[in-house]
């Protein structure tokens, strides 16, 4: 573990965005020739529904209504894939959690063996949401709070309080629809297809994790946020590094760094088989190395890749000499350049042959039509002692990044849907530069592999609903805070500090009023009352960061 930086290094922390440029940006990238965690590509059948399971009693499965069938030219089955739906450390072990995937609501809970379980969020009795239920403190079973029916981790009904015999609970119709679930790289993954064929395939396939991030020398935190636009628009945006200097000006980049990006794609043959250049040989698309960082325009060290259906990643590869070159090119006074070179040398000389990587990993989840969930992490295995902050503080900064996109992308999608151009974007939009190459690659893939939503879920366009106010598009509490253990705790602490400061201000003001006017004691009490009131106001402003903060591009620094 790297020791904390000496006190004299503190000024450089503020220069981290300059020191690394895109190192702290939202979109780091991915290299070629990665061979970790190869997955054998399996033949994919037609889309299957979630099924009721009765493993404990050995009964056969019964199919639920099927999602829309694949149309001509489509070949990816979204139901036969592992999807991350939550961050494991953020789930409350004694409270069921509702998540959404492909238009279907699911419930997550932890049983008495401390194993996470998942099921369709629907009681077989009267279809009440099981996520409104409770976890039995002794059995770990999930209890529906409508009539008290209980279900174990396999979906078996273990108790019907109103029944006079065990026959009612023994019926397959009493079962909840359980879903395969596992924990990998700190995330909760579910497999929505529970047909016999789907279950067999779930035991062969593995979640699309990035194994490097589990190594102890990588930093960074997982972050989740529900987005007010569709899965396809989310991935389109993740694969668009050209928007960073403009949409995120003053946050992770600046408008002056906007420049041509020479992005080209690897051929499809490079995405499958034992010699595949992407992470899991699972298709999708992958860029060739390109230069993104302003100080390394002549050094293509970044790649981006999409692996269906959920993983989008960037990976940048550095050497100690490359980082020294970054410092040399930065417009810094000589003393700060010398300090930067020293810090880079200090961090890299211990193991000069160690590969230095910086990742952005984003998982895109289609929750409902017009909505999506993003789970992401930025991390690196060098200079990890710089810019360290708490998880809650890191999330507030990440909010600011996504706030720069949310209104833009929601309104963009409304125009896509209003004009009906999603199926013919290349002919409807003007995409003349190499920087648009990833957008074209995504739309070409998605046009052949449309989502199969759950039965009865209509893929309606955004123009059929009223335009939401900005307070909804940029809302943070329901989109993130209530799902995040770190931010829930930070919000509670902030509220407590605000109330204590306000109470202290009131007491000090009363003391100042009771003392003889003009005395040092009364003046001191009044001054402390003002300071306490100011502290309360600052905590109130900090509290807003967990709920909603307006973001207007025109008011950012020009």
Q: Rounded mean pLDDT of the chain?
A: 85
Question: Residue 440, Cα to own-chain centre: how many angstroms?
Answer: 23
pLDDT in tens, 487-522: 999 999 999 999 999 999 999 999 999 999 889 999
Percentage of residues of the chain with pLDDT beyond 70: 85
Helix (H) / strand (E) element for 397: namely: helix 391-419
SS3 of 110-155: the string is ECCCCCEEEEECCCCCCCCCHHHCEECCCCCCEECCCCCCEECCCC
State how far the Cα of 139 lies from the Cα of 273, in Å rounded to an integer: 46
Note the pLDDT of residue 353: 80
Q: Is the pLDDT at 277 greater than 50, yes or no?
A: yes
pLDDT over 70 (residue 125): yes
- Higher pLDDT: 13 or 200? It is 200
What's the whole-number mean pLDDT along residues 394-408?
A: 97
Mean pLDDT of all residues in 530-543 = 97
> Is residue 50 within 8 Å of residue 124, measured between CB atoms?
no
> Which of 57-66, 345-354, 392-401: highest mean pLDDT?
392-401
pLDDT average, residue stretch 178-187: 97
Q: What is the pLDDT of residue 11?
A: 34
What's the pLDDT score for residue 66?
38
pTM summary value: 0.85
Segment 231-250 mean pLDDT: 95
May I ask the CATH class of domain 51-202? Answer: mainly beta
Provide the residue ranges of all domains of the chain, joining segments of one domain with +.
Answer: 7-37+231-359+370-474, 51-202, 485-555
What's the confidence (pLDDT) of residue 295? 67
pLDDT digits (tens, 9 = 90+) for 302-316: 999 999 999 999 999
The Cα–Cα gap between 50 and 66 comes to 8
Average pLDDT on 389-410 reads: 96
Give the pLDDT of residue 63.
Answer: 37
For residue 451, the model assigns a pLDDT of: 92
Of 15, 14, 23, 16, nearest to 378 by C-alpha is 23
Report whether pLDDT(407) > 80: yes
CB burial string 349-387: b at 16+ within 10 A, e below? eeeeeeebbbbbbbbbbbbbbbbbbbbbbbbbbbbbbbb
* Per-residue confidence (pLDDT) for residue 324, from 0 to 100: 87
CA dist 121 and 107 (Å) reads 5
Judged against a pLDDT cut of 70, whether residue 106 lies above it is answered with yes
Number of neighbouring beta carbons within 10 Å of residue 459:
17
């Amino acid at each position: 573990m790297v020791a904390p930086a000496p006190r004299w290094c503190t000024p450089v922390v503020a220069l981290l965005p300059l020191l690394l440029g895109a190192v702290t940006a939202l979109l780091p990238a991915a290299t070629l020739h990665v061979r970790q965690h190869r997955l054998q590509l399996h033949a994919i059948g037609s889309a299957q529904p979630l099924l009721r399971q009765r493993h404990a009693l050995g009964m056969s499965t019964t199919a639920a209504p099927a999602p829309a069938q694949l149309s001509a030219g489509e070949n990816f089955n979204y139901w036969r894939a592992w999807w991350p739906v939550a961050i494991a450390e953020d789930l409350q072990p004694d409270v069921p959690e509702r998540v959404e995937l492909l238009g279907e609501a699911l419930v997550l809970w932890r049983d008495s063996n401390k194993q996470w379980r998942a099921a369709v969020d629907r009681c077989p009795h009267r279809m009440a949401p099981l996520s409104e239920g409770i976890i039995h403190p002794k059995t770990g079973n999930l209890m529906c709070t409508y009539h008290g029916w209980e279900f174990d981790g396999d979906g078996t009904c273990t108790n019907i309080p109103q029944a006079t015999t065990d026959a009612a609970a023994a019926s397959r119709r009493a079962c909840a629809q359980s879903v395969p679930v596992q924990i990998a790289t700190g995330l909760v993954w579910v497999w929505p297809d529970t047909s016999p064929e789907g279950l067999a395939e779930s035991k062969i396939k593995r979640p699309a994790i990035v194994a490097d991030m589990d190594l102890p020398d990588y930093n960074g935190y997982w972050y989740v946020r529900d987005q007010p636009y569709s899965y396809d628009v989310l991935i389109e945006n993740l694969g668009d590094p050209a928007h960073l200097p403009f949409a995120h000006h003053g946050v992770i980049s600046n408008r002056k760094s906007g420049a041509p990006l020479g992005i080209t794609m690897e051929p499809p043959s490079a995405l499958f088989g034992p010699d595949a250049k992407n992470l899991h040989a699972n298709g999708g698309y992958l860029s060739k190395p390109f230069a993104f960082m302003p100080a390394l325009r002549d050094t293509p060290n970044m790649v981006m890749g999409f692996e269906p259906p959920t993983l989008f990643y960037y990976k940048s590869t550095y050497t100690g000499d490359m980082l020294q070159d970054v410092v040399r090119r930065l417009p810094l006074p000589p003393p700060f350049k010398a300090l930067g070179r020293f810090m880079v040398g200090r961090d890299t000389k211990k193991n000069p042959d160690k590969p230095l990587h910086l990742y952005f990993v984003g998982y895109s989840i289609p929750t409902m039509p017009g909505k999506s969930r993003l789970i992401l992490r930025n991390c690196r295995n060098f200079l990890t002692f710089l810019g360290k902050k708490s998880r809650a503080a890191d999330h507030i900064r990440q909010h600011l990044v996504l706030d720069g996109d949310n209104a833009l992308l929601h309104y963009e999608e409304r125009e896509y849907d209003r004009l009906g151009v999603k199926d013919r974007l290349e002919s409807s939009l003007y995409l003349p530069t190499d920087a648009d190459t990833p957008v074209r690659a995504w739309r070409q893939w998605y046009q052949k592999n449309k989502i199969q939503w759950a039965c009865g879920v209509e893929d309606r366009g955004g123009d059929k609903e009223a335009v939401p106010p900005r307070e909804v598009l940029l809302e943070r509490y329901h989109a993130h805070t209530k799902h995040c253990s770190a931010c829930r705790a930070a919000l509670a602490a902030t509220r407590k500090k605000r109330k204590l400061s306000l109470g202290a201000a009131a007491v000090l003001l009363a003391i100042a009023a009771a003392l003889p006017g003009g005395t040092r004691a009364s003046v001191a009490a009044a001054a402390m009352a003002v300071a306490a009131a100011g502290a309360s106001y600052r905590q109130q402003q900090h509290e807003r960061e967990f709920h909603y903060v307006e973001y207007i591009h025109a008011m950012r620094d020009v």
